[in-house]
Structure 1
């Protein structure tokens, strides 16, 4: 898109959460999660199956609402927005402050090999990968084992502690460490309460099942949007918002799923163009941009088709060759 096209849409789409839809959805998801837990602790296998479906739905939306909070779009009230971000981050074990720092850098430096933390992390890992590790990676990719998502979560936990070990004692890093410790203390308290009620094993199984669903969904939703997009040169300037459509992709719309389950996350081009616009305004931005660009706005296949097709391909053929710096 051009700057003029971007500006024309920008003038018509307000920033921030001017409507309460995200807050309402967040509360509803928390109630669904509590209801799912009560089904899980029943003695019925059928009810436990329903519990996993409901919990999976709720935890995916909690992850997506956390993403809204990263952009300040969960609530216009900053304290409420950050509380939602921290609570959701604690609930899914993905520290809010670290993820916000990484995610904002991703939007600022999309497709940059060094300044985009996601790309930098991938390059560092691929550069030291042995042939055996490459075969293991391809096995996990082919068999839908969500190792990329698991590594992403782990990296967010390790990041502030690694930074401090390397001599970075800045207030930002120390604050991230304090919140990481607070998250861990919260897990200990919940575990002790569950143990006192004799529910610790059930809670652990419930949580691990949700985590596995979430890891699967994180890869399903995130990977199509930047796959097969080449990286910039190391000395390249950052792309402006209206230039990022060259390195990000949309996924096709699936009725009900795209709008009401994954909260328009498939509209990734307009999200990169207007990152502070909340999820419920993205279809309007997408439509306005389509009007500006005419027939040049082309969608990819939906997330499920992308995964079904590309899980059969080697990961290095799909996107890894951009990160592989081995001689």
Structure 2
């Protein structure tokens, strides 16, 4: 895609480039969960390539494992991948409003996500500089190699960010938008989007998120069977199930999925 970028219209480059980067993010997710091989060093080597530029693989691995091990999934005090906030005032409230609808998440979510992550890493650098260096130095070296590749094929960094990175993050956020809904009766229960179609392939079936959280070590190609066998049990447990992403778009394009302040923190500050 980078080699042929000059031959492709920008909308096509955005569609294919964003799809490829979202798919690579799904592949990284698989490597974190022990696939495609039984050897972590091979899986890490596959997942390490920083095509998205902004997120070190080791940091993503650390964050995602913490997400699965969180005491209360969706509570931002425990879950580093939570979309929820603990406060509803000032800048945090404004950002939460921007991300409350699916359309807002697609448009504003990528820069908000990247900036928040970088600010968190800046603060973490003060507390644990050695750990941060271990995450970022290998990543920075690999990013330099990616940038040299882009320079070699004449693809500017800004164009790459706009046609590959930004739409890749946005597409991933379409998947994650309805994955979890905070519920005090069943905290952080996972949702499923049953008919992912082509997006299901891009997401490597992580749209069947209830099945993934129940069996996180299950390979992507086994998730549909597991979901089908346990679908009624998920329904009985109250786990949201959407027929497809068309349903998600129609329902949430202009309507908020939930109050972006976590229910444990509504009505007060932490």
TM-score scaled by length of structure 1: 0.67
Contact kept? 1:263, 1:279, Cα under 8 Å: yes
- 1:279 Cα deviation after fit: 0.5
- 1:140 Cα deviation after fit: 5.8
- 1:164 Cα deviation after fit: 3.6
Name the CA distance, whole Å, in 2 between partners of 1:247 and 1:198: 45
Q: Larger helix proportion, structure 1 or 2?
A: 1
CA RMSD of aligned residues (A): 3.2
Three-state SS of the structure 2 residue aligned to 1:266 is coil
Give yes or no for the alignment of 1:50 onto 2:50: no
Match in the other structure for 1:209: 163
Match in the other structure for 1:308: 250
- 1:261 Cα deviation after fit: 3.0
Match in the other structure for 2:172: 218
Match in the other structure for 2:57: 96
- 1:73 Cα deviation after fit: 2.0
- 1:281 Cα deviation after fit: 0.8
- Show the 5 A alignment for 1:92-241: 92-93=52-53, 94-109=55-70, 110-119=73-82, 122-124=84-86, 127=87, 129-130=89-90, 134-135=93-94, 137-139=96-98, 141=100, 143-144=103-104, 145-166=106-127, 168=128, 174-191=130-147, 194-195=150-151, 197=152, 199=154, 201=156, 203-227=157-181, 229-231=182-184
**RCO greater where, 1 or 2, for CA within 8 Å and sep 6 or more?**
2
Gaps of 5+ in 1: 1-35, 233-242
Q: Larger strand proportion, structure 1 or 2?
A: 2
Three-state SS of the structure 2 residue aligned to 1:150 is helix
Moved more, 272-281 or 247-256: 247-256
Residue deviations 1:116-141 (CA, integer Å, cap 9, x gap): 2234x8435xx2632x7645653565
Against the structure 1 CA distance between its residues 294 and 278, is the aligned structure 2 distance closer, same or farther, given a 3 Å change threshold? closer
TM-score scaled by length of structure 2: 0.79
Against the structure 1 CA distance between its residues 185 and 76, is the aligned structure 2 distance closer, same or farther, given a 3 Å change threshold? same
Residue deviations 1:186-222 (CA, integer Å, cap 9, x gap): 3345445655x58253x43033211121122122100
Against the structure 1 CA distance between its residues 163 and 304, is the aligned structure 2 distance closer, same or farther, given a 3 Å change threshold? same
Residue deviations 1:129-155 (CA, integer Å, cap 9, x gap): 32x764565356555344334333444
Name the CA distance, whole Å, in 2 between partners of 1:71 and 1:122: 24
Aligned partner of 2:224 among 283, 289, 293: 283
Residue deviations 1:29-84 (CA, integer Å, cap 9, x gap): xxxxxxx2233123x63xx5433332222211101001111212232221110112
Contact kept? 2:84, 2:262, Cα under 8 Å: no
Gaps of 5+ in 2: none
Against the structure 1 CA distance between its residues 319 and 177, is the aligned structure 2 distance closer, same or farther, given a 3 Å change threshold? farther
